Amino acid sequence: MSQNPEIDPQRWEEYDSDTKLYDLGRIKVIGRTEQRFRTVLVDTKQYPFGKKRTKKRHIRYAIIENLAFNLSPSALYEFYHGRQTLENFFKESKNPFNSGKMPSQRFRANEAYLQFVVIAYNCYFWFKKNFSHQPGRITIWKPPAKD
């Protein structure tokens, strides 16, 4: 941020036990423009999944918006968090399932196509999770011990 705003530790708003929000208000974010954007800082904890990491880590980012209506920081977080989840689905589904280009000009046909893509996506990850080989967990062949 171009202004280096002062952050008061007492003004952090707790969204849930793992997420805190800080409303900076409207500030100048980009140095080349005079327009001010509303900025909300997000500090969230991410817990390890599986045995790859042992420590939780903090993820810190900013939500920068210029909406015509005013939302509370928690409502703004919920709005963009839901949008982020949907955008991740479309990003992941574009490559393996070729849903980047819709097959028809008709809305209902594209709706049915996307429903099939979602079913295929869920089946793919279910099979990947339950049936793919996970190193170190299952050993099919064990060489004989040398005496």
Where the chain has pLDDT below 70, the residues are 1-3, 49-54, 82, 84-86, 88-90, 92-100, 133-147
For residues 17 and 87, state if they share a domain. Answer: yes
Segments forming the whole domain that contains residue 116:
101-130
For residues 20 and 92, state if they share a domain. Answer: yes
pLDDT tens digit sequence for 108-138: 988 898 888 889 888 888 887 777 766 555 5
Distance, in Å, from the CA atom of 131 to the CA atom of 117, rounded to the nearest integer, reads 21
82's enclosing H/E stretch is helix 73-97
For residues 82 and 116, state if they share a domain. Answer: no
φ/ψ of 5, rounded to 5, equals -70, 150
In whole angstroms, how far apart are CA 86 and each of 6, 37, 110? 33, 24, 17
φ/ψ of 117, rounded to 5, equals -65, -40
> Considering the entire predicted model, what is its pTM?
0.54
For residues 93 and 106, state if they share a domain. Answer: no
Distance, in Å, from the CA atom of 59 to the CA atom of 88, rounded to the nearest integer, reads 17
